[in-house]
Amino acid sequence: MATASLIADSTQIAQGAEAVSDPPSRNTTRKVYKAYIHTSFDSDAKVPILLKHRFKKQYRHPSLDANLTRARVAGEARALLRCLRSGVSVPGIRMVDATEGVLGVEWIEGKSVRMLLGGGAEGEEEQVSDSEEFFDDTTDAGGESVSHVDPLDEYQVTIDEIMGLIGSEIAKMHKADIIHGDLTTSNMIIRHPFAAKGPSPTKLVLIDFGLAYTSTLVEDKAVDLYVLERAFASTHPDSEPMLFAVLEAYKKGMYKDWTTVERRLQDVRLRGRKRSMVG
Amino acid sequence: MPGTFKRSPLKRPERPYIALGLEGSANKLGAGIIKHDSDGSTTVLSNVRHTYITPPGEGFLPQDTARHHRQWIHSVIKDSLKQAGVEIHDLDCICFTKGPGMGAPLQSVALVARTLALMFDKPLVGVNHCVGHIEMGRQITGAQNPVVLYVSGGNTQVIAYSQQRYRIFGETLDIAVGNCLDRFARVINLSNDPSPGYNIEQEAKKGKKLLPLPYTTKGMDLSLSGILSTTEAYTYDKRFSQTVEPSPESDTITPADLCFSLQETVFAMLVEITERAMAHIGSKEVLIVGGVGCNERLQDMMGIMARERGGNVFATDERFCIDNGIMIAQAGLLSYRMGSVTPLSETSCTQRFRTDQVHVAWRA
Ligand SMILES: Nc1ncnc2c1ncn2[C@@H]1O[C@H](COP(=O)(O)OP(=O)(O)O)[C@@H](O)[C@H]1O
Ligand SMILES: [Mg+2]
C-alpha cells in the first residue's frame, strides 16, 4: 500500500520537542516521520514532508480506537484547511489517509518555542537519602564549561517577538472559530531564518491540530487559552510576563471580541481553582 | 541533567520517628501509624479504616458523614494504636487532613486531632490530602519520579513533580472520574458496599458491547459530565433492559454494557492524558493513586501504555489507594522531619486546597 511504503522509506524523527533528546523508538503517542515526495510527476526534485502516523493504541478498545483514529486524522486535516483559508500560519497539507491514520504536511525547518525558551525536559534525578554517598559533599552540580550559542540569536528573534506572534496567530485562529485544543509551547515552531525564504512568511507556525475542532463558543476559546496558560506555567518558570505579552497581542487581534473572552477566561481560571473543592 | 544528582534535603533520622495520621475528608475515616527508622526504612505499623456506607441509590451528605466520623473516631484511633503497639506518648506528631474535602467531615476529624495534641502535648501537622496519596504511593511502590494520575471521588488530576511542587498538568474540567462512576452506579441502583466504583468494575466485566459515548479530552484536561449524561440517557432508550443477559448479537442494552462502555471510554481518556504528560516531561513511570486507582482495568490499560513507552505503571491495592490514615501520617511525617509543624491557630480546615499549593520541602 502506498502510504505504508512511504512510511517505510522515511526517517522517524524524535517525537517533537517533547522528547528531543530521546531515541525515536521511545515515542508512542503518534509516530512522526520525515519523508520525501516528488514535487511533480515529471521532476526528480523532492521536498521533505512531515508524516504523522497515528498507530493503534493497544490499551484502547479496538473499535473505539479505530473510530478515534479516523475522526482525528480527518479532523486535523479539516482544521488545517480552515486555518490555511483564514490566513493562520500553519503547515500546508500534503496527503491524508484517514483509515491508515496518516497525515502528511509541509515540513517546517525550525525549533519549537519550548526549546527556544529552554524548557527542555531534563529528567530530574533524585538521590534517596539512605545511601552513603548522600552524606559526602564532593559531588558538584557541575561547572558551566560548555559554551553554547543562544538559540534566540541564531533564530534572530526575541522572546517579546515570539510572544507577540503566539498571541496574534491564536487570535487569527479563534477569529476563524478554530479551537486548537492543545496549545503548548511544543506545538509552535519558529522557522529557521535560512528556511524562511519566499514572501516573508510568518516566523511562527502553529502545528499539531490533532485535537482541534471548530466552535463559536466563547467558553471554548477561553479554555483554549487556559490550556496554554497552564502549559506555560508548568514548563517555563516565571512565565507570567511572557503570558501577559501573549494576551496583549491576542487582545489586539481579537479586537471587539476580547472582552467576552477575557471575562470567560477569568471564570475558567476560577473554576480551575474551585475544582479542588472536594478531596 | 545526566550525571548530576540533586541531593534529597531529607536527612536520615538520627532516631526512629513515629506519627499518627488522621483522615476523614470524605466518607472514609482512617487512622494510621507510621515509623521512619534511623536505618532509613519506613514501616506501616497500623492502618485502620471505617467507611460510611449509604443505601443503594444514595450518596453521602456532609452532615451525616461527619456524624459517622464522630461516632467511630475513638475506636478507629484506639485500634490503630493497639495494632501498632504504641502509646500516644510515643508519637512525635499528630497529622491530620487539612483539605481538600467536605467541610463538616474534615472539621470533625481536625477537632479530634487538636484535642489529642493539646491533651498529650504533641505537635500538629496539617496535610494536603492529595499530597498524602502521592507520598504514600511513592513509598509503597518505590516509584522515584513518576507522573501521577490521581483519580478519586473528588479529584482527577495528572501531576508531575518539579522544583518542590507537585504541578498539575491536566485535570477534569467538570466532575471527577470517581464521582462520574459513583453517580452512574446510583442511576442503575448498584450497591455502595464496599464502594460503588468496585461494583461498576464487577458489572463491567459482564458487558458485551461498546456503545458510543463522547470522547472529550482537551489537551491534558478532560471533561466527564457529558459522558455521564449520555450514559444515563441510554437507560431511557427503548433497547435498555435490566433483566436481559448481555449479549453481543442482540441489540438490547444492559447495565453491564453501559458500565463496560463507560469504563472503556473514560479510562482510555485518562490513559491518553497521562501519556501526554509523560511525553511532555519525558518520564517513563506512572503512578496511579486515589480510590479509582484500585480498578484493575484502569491499571491494565495504563500498564499497556507504559510498557509501550518502555516504562512501568505503579499502583497500590485498596489499603493505600482508598483514602486512609497512613498516607496522612506519611506525608505529615516527611514534612515534620523538615521542621514543619502547624500552629494551633492555623489548624482550621479548608475545602479548597490545591495540590500545587504545598511546598514539597522534603524532595530535591
Ligand atoms: N510541519 C512540521 N515540520 C517539521 N516538524 C514538525 C512539523 N510538525 C510537527 N513537527 C515536529 O514533530 C513533532 C510532533 O508533531 P505534532 O504534530 O506536534 O504531533 P503530536 O501530536 O505527536 O504532538 C513536533 O513537536 C515537531 O517537533
Ligand atoms: Mg505536539
- A279 and B275 within 8 Å at the Cβ level: the answer is no
DSSP state, residue B134: H
The pLDDT confidence band at residue A137, using thresholds 50, 70 and 90, is very low
Is a pLDDT exceeding 90 seen at residue A131?
Answer: no
Mean pLDDT of A155-177: 96
User: Sign of the CA dihedral A169, A170, A176, A179?
Assistant: positive
Is a pLDDT exceeding 50 seen at residue A125?
Answer: no
Asked if residues B159 and B166 have their Cβ atoms less than 8 Å apart, the reply is yes
Nearest-angstrom CA–CA distance, A105 and A95: 7
pLDDT tens, position by position, B148-169: 999 999 999 999 999 999 999 8
- From chain A residues 110-129, the ones with a CB under 8 A of any chain B CB are 121-129
Rg of chain B, C-alpha, whole Å: 21
Mean pLDDT of A145-149: 59
pLDDT tens, position by position, B265-314: 999 999 999 998 898 788 899 999 999 999 999 999 999 999 988 999 99
Give percent of chain B above pLDDT 90.
89
In Å, how far is A135's CA from the nearest CA of chain B?
9
Q: What does chain B come to in residues?
A: 364
Mean pLDDT of B353-358: 93
Backbone angles phi, psi at B271, to 5 degrees: -65, -40
Backbone angles phi, psi at B55, to 5 degrees: -65, 160
Does the beta carbon of A164 sit less than 6 angstroms from any atom of ligand 1? no
Spatial CA neighbour of B49 closest among B85, B25, B13 = B25
Is a pLDDT exceeding 50 seen at residue A126?
Answer: no
- Partner residue facing A277 (CB), from B100, B275, B300: B100
CA of A183 to the centre of ligand 2 (A): 9
DSSP conformation letters of B216-277 = -EETTEE--HHHHHHHHHHTTSTTB-SSSPP-SSS--B-HHHHHHHHHHHHHHHHHHHHHHH
pLDDT at A273: 54
Give percent of chain B above pLDDT 70.
99
Give percent of chain A above pLDDT 70.
79
Mean pLDDT of A167-190: 95
- B169 and A61 within 8 Å at the Cβ level: the answer is no
Does the beta carbon of A207 sit less than 6 angstroms from any atom of ligand 1? yes
pLDDT tens, position by position, B62-103: 999 999 999 999 999 999 999 999 999 999 999 999 999 999
Chain B CA closest to residue A236 = B162
Residues 6+ apart with CB under 8 A from B3: A142
Structure-block grid coordinates of residue A17: 520537542
pLDDT tens, position by position, A239-262: 899 999 999 999 999 999 999 999
Does the beta carbon of A181 sit less than 6 angstroms from any atom of ligand 1? no
Mean pLDDT of A7-15: 74
Does the beta carbon of A210 sit less than 6 angstroms from any atom of ligand 1? yes
Mean pLDDT of A134-144: 39
pLDDT at A270: 86
Give percent of chain A above pLDDT 90.
55
Partners of residue A263 on adjacent β-strands: none
Mean pLDDT of B177-201: 96
- Partner residue facing B40 (CB), from A63, A130, A275: A130
- B299-328 CB burial, b ≥16 within 10 A, e <16: bebbbebbebbebbbbbbeeebbbbbbbbb
Ligand 1 atom nearest the C-alpha of A210 is 21
| pLDDT, averaged across chain B | 95
- B172 and A275 within 8 Å at the Cβ level: the answer is yes
pLDDT at B53: 96
Is a pLDDT exceeding 70 seen at residue B189?
Answer: yes
Could you tell me where the beta strands, DSSP code E, fall in chain B?
A: 6-7, 17-23, 28-36, 42-51, 93-99, 124-128, 147-151, 156-162, 165-171, 217-218, 221-222, 285-289, 312-315
- Residues in chain A with CB shorter than 8 Å from the CB of B158 are none
Is a pLDDT exceeding 60 seen at residue A9?
Answer: yes
Ligand showing the shortest atom-to-Cα distance for residue A14: 1
pLDDT tens, position by position, A54-108: 888 999 999 999 999 998 899 999 999 999 999 999 999 999 999 899 999 999 9
pLDDT at A1: 56
Is a pLDDT exceeding 90 seen at residue B338?
Answer: yes
User: Sign of the CA dihedral B208, B210, B213, B215?
Assistant: positive
Does the beta carbon of A107 sit less than 6 angstroms from any atom of ligand 1? yes
Tell me which H or E stretch contains B202: helix B196-204
Asked if residues B170 and A227 have their Cβ atoms less than 8 Å apart, the reply is no
pLDDT at B213: 97
Which of B135, B182, B218, B259 best probes binding to A when mutated, by most A CB atoms within 10 angstroms?
Answer: B218
Q: Name the least confident of A2-11, A121-130, B351-360.
A: A121-130
pLDDT at A14: 54
Other CB atoms within a 10 A radius of the CB of residue B235 amount to 14
Residues of A with a known catalytic role? 182
Ligand 1 atom nearest the C-alpha of A205 is 1
Mean pLDDT of B199-218: 95
Higher pLDDT, B330 or B352: B330
CA of A80 to the centre of ligand 2 (A): 14
Is a pLDDT exceeding 80 seen at residue A158?
Answer: yes
pLDDT at A147: 54
pLDDT at B58: 92
Does the beta carbon of A51 sit less than 6 angstroms from any atom of ligand 1? no
CA of B165 to the centre of ligand 1 (A): 29
pLDDT at A198: 62
Each domain of chain A, given as residue ranges in start order, spans: 3-278
pLDDT tens, position by position, B1-59: 444 467 889 999 999 999 999 999 999 999 999 999 999 999 999 999 999 999 999 99
Backbone angles phi, psi at A263, to 5 degrees: -60, -45
Residue A273 touches partner B, C-beta closer than 8 Å: yes
CA of B219 to the centre of ligand 2 (A): 10
pLDDT at B2: 44
Please state the pTM of the whole predicted model: 0.79
Asked if residues A134 and A127 have their Cβ atoms less than 8 Å apart, the reply is yes
In Å, how far is B182's CA from the nearest CA of chain A?
14
Asked if residues B197 and B181 have their Cβ atoms less than 8 Å apart, the reply is yes
Nearest-angstrom CA–CA distance, B308 and B283: 13
Ligand 1 atom nearest the C-alpha of A105 is 1
CATH architecture label of A3-278: Orthogonal Bundle (1.10)
Global ipTM: 0.87
Q: How many CB pairs under 8 A join A and B?
A: 172
Partners of residue A46 on adjacent β-strands: A38
Nearest-angstrom CA–CA distance, A141 and B300: 39
Structure-block grid coordinates of residue B277: 504528560
